[in-house]
Amino acid sequence: MGRSLMEALDAGEWIGPELNGEYMEKIIDCTVKIQKYNTTAMTSREEMVSAFEDVTGRKTIGSTIVVFPFRCDFGFNIFLGKDVLVNYNCTFLDSACITIGDYTKIGPDCHLVTAIHPMDHMERRTRIVRGEPITIGDDCWIGANVTVLPGVTIGDRCVIGAGSVVTKDVPDDSVYAGNPARSIRRRKFSIYTRNHDRPNADTDMIRMGKRSWRYSYQKDLASLLSQIERPQNRGRIPSPWTFFGTVHRNAAKPLDTIP
């Protein structure tokens, strides 16, 4: 006996003619629920959440919200974390699992596409399809009109620029943009990182950025005082902007390069 539709989807197998009927039935069932979600007059957040839970078949967590209009194939392959925002007019083709981590924001008009069709045109006539999962980590920001292709994993704390097409995996703490999306830079740990998420945030920031704001501030002050003591500067009162400008310029330098 062959696999069921759910087993074939989970395994990433080709859905052939023998399962096409059930495949289309699931899509039609979801389409009816999506139409209700997108067109029903709702008067509260609770009604929106309840209607979306009917699409996915599971409870949302925290203040997670999906703003309509929204479209998907099945719904049951969508897994959203805590406090996720999916903005207007997004499309999730969830032939395979789409997993989005906590606190992640998905901009408007984004497409997360897990479905794959054959490259050969004759095979495509048979309407076979399979899926590869998409995973997006915690604390990510996916800009407007981004397309994520099948099988892609985006790590934690990543930013994807608007209009990008993500064709390959993105490591943690990265900024990617373009078509195809490429690395622009690696993000440093923010001084605003939540302590309960990263208890050693200050230590990590110093280790990765190779600088300490307190130490930099002290060196900038010492540099300014040494300038005041120079013979040509005696009797002059430096502007406070001189000092703060020095702090701003040195903030992005490694400690061992600050004069």
Q: Cα separation of 160 and 176, whole Å?
A: 5
Query: Quick one: how far is CA 136 from the chain centroid?
Result: 6
Backbone angles phi, psi at 91, to 5 degrees: -125, 125
Q: Active site residue: 117, 121, 196, 248, which one?
A: 117
pTM for the model: 0.73
Ordered DSSP codes for 183-250 = EEEEPPPPTT--TTT-TTHHHHHHHHH---HHHHHHHHHHHHHHHHTSGGGTT----HHHHHHHHHHH
pLDDT band at 218 (very low <50, low <70, confident <90, very high): low
Joined together, the tokens standing for residue 114 give 């897990």
Domains in the chain with CATH codes: 5-186 (2.160.10.10), 201-257 (no CATH)
Joined together, the tokens standing for residue 133 give 């999962």
Q: What tens digit of pLDDT does each residue of 64-96 get?
A: 999 999 999 999 999 999 999 999 999 999 999
Catalytic residue list contains 117: yes
Query: Which pLDDT value is given to residue 3?
Result: 77
